[in-house]
Structure 1
Amino acid sequence: MDFEKIKTFLSVSRNKTFSDAALELHLAQTTVSHRIKSLEEEVDLQLFERGKGRKEVILTPIGEEFYKISEEWLRLENEVQFLRTQGLLLSLIVGSVDSLNSFLFQNTYFQLSNNSNIKLQIKTLHSGEIYSEVEKRHIDIGFSLKNRAHSNVIVDKFFQSPMVVIKSSENIDSISTIIHPKDLDTQNEVFLPWGEEYISWHAYWWDPLSISRVNMDNSNILLKLLENKEKWAIVPKFIAEGVSSKYKIFELVDRPPDYVVYKLTHKSPTTLSNQAIDYFIKCYQENLG
């Protein structure tokens, strides 16, 4: 069986069109069409329903069954190919949102990078795209702020943190560590979109059309901006506690929804991928303290 044909079949099945599959595979659309036709002739099965004027293609009932078999074929082929090229070296590709890569997993990545038996690759992705990257096996384990039902992805709650306000501790004389949302000036806010539920909470307290003058989606530069003593931000408490020597932490009277992280893995991981994922979790747990 030609595994390039199998990969093409899986891509067309996911993307629903030959053109989108061609873009994903960096192939000409005619090449994709030829591979699918050749595959159907080889297995003597009609895998897709086609109709005149219909842009999308859908799997036939037997095509749906063939999809399951193809995923397993590809998984086995990938495992064999990895053994050929890497031997017993474990490879781990982690895909996560920026805030976790920057603040939560730093010690874990440091430990993994010092293990000569692990080949580590770290990707910073948006929550939504992490699901498709896990399904395509482009990453072994993902961490998203979105909880979605997905046919080929196992979703588990991984981490949870309350949200707090942080401001520069310079010139803050207040003894109270509790603050009301209405006492915060949004003109001085450094706003980060901490997930869909948080954005809804934020819109309840402040007009979403007139929110902060600083609106960003990269937490790496957050702390630099907060050096301005007038600026403030709402962040997960685990981030605030990591910088508590320079910033004062305030609890909110009406707390936002917790910052919740979901762990994503493929339903049919390879044996070596499972080993690498288990080692990642082990390192993470060792670094919790």
Structure 2
Amino acid sequence: MEKGEIDIAFALFEKPMPNMIIQKFYSEPMVVIREGNHSEQGDFISLLSLDPDNELYHEWSPTFRTWYDQHRKDVKFSGIRVDSAGLILTLLNNPGKWSIIPMSMARKFITLGTFTLSNLDGSPPERMYYQARPRYPSARVAESLQILDSCLSIIHDNTYPVFRTHNLLNGKVR
């Protein structure tokens, strides 16, 4: 973006850049997904009630890591550290395994197998997505960005109605 080779970017981390506007684009809750059917589907559960031996841990962000460390400080980690979110589904297919993942991933996992989705007491920070765009776009780029904004608004309104309160598209909470 700084070289002017692209006009917009989407990122998982907020990185200030000169002559760019970085804004929150979208957020979604983090939830617990577990293999199998559990009676607490959708209910709130305590992180400390989950077996640390069966955890699949992925460090989603520095903010998530801080939250996690505060909530698990008295529990020795004995699970599996996963460095790729794509591995979680494969490893989650083992009895008793669980992980904290973004809601969009959890919804997809539920369509692929027998999983239980639960909310956490003391909710983890939401997964944030950011948009970067030029502070002073050319007329051509400004017109393109307006078209993109219209398309993104339609997609968000029709694809994720459950998450409208988490949609920060163009700085507006819907």
Q: Same fold (TM over 0.5)?
A: yes
The aligned runs of 1:133-144 (5 Å cut-off) are 134-144=1-11
In structure 1, C-alpha distance between the alignment counterparts of 2:141 and 2:79, rounded to whole Å: 43
- 1:177–1:151 Cα change, 3 Å: same
Give the deviation of 1:254 after TM superposition.
Answer: 0.9
The aligned runs of 1:124-203 (5 Å cut-off) are 134-168=1-35, 170-174=36-40, 177-203=43-69
What SS is found at the alignment partner of 1:229? coil
Q: Does residue 251 of structure 1 match 2:125?
A: no
Give the deviation of 1:165 after TM superposition.
Answer: 0.6
- 1:282–1:175 Cα change, 3 Å: closer
AA partner of residue 257 (structure 1): P
2:131 to 263, 272, 280: 263
Structure 1 residue runs of 5 or longer lacking an equivalent are 1-133
Residue equivalent to 2:97: 231
AA partner of residue 71 (structure 2): W
- 1:212–1:265 Cα change, 3 Å: farther
- 1:227–1:138 Cα change, 3 Å: farther
What SS is found at the alignment partner of 1:135? coil
Residue equivalent to 1:60: none
Structure ranking higher on relative contact order (CA contacts 8 Å, 6+ apart): 2
Give the deviation of 1:195 after TM superposition.
Answer: 1.5
In structure 2, C-alpha distance between the alignment counterparts of 1:151 and 1:235, rounded to whole Å: 32
What SS is found at the alignment partner of 1:260? strand
2:86 to 191, 196, 220: 220
1:281 to 145, 149, 160: 149
In structure 1, C-alpha distance between the alignment counterparts of 2:20 and 2:81, rounded to whole Å: 35
Give the deviation of 1:174 after TM superposition.
Answer: 4.2
What SS is found at the alignment partner of 1:204? helix
| Percent sequence identity over aligned pairs | 25
Give the deviation of 1:152 after TM superposition.
Answer: 1.7
Pick the structure with more helix per residue: 1
Give the deviation of 1:192 after TM superposition.
Answer: 1.9
**Count of residues in correspondence between the two structures:** 154
Q: TM-score, normalised by structure 2?
A: 0.73
In structure 2, C-alpha distance between the alignment counterparts of 1:221 and 1:287, rounded to whole Å: 28
Q: TM-score, normalised by structure 1?
A: 0.47
Alignment root-mean-square deviation, CA: 2.6
AA partner of residue 68 (structure 2): H
What SS is found at the alignment partner of 1:156? strand
Residue equivalent to 1:34: none
In structure 2, C-alpha distance between the alignment counterparts of 1:219 and 1:286, rounded to whole Å: 28
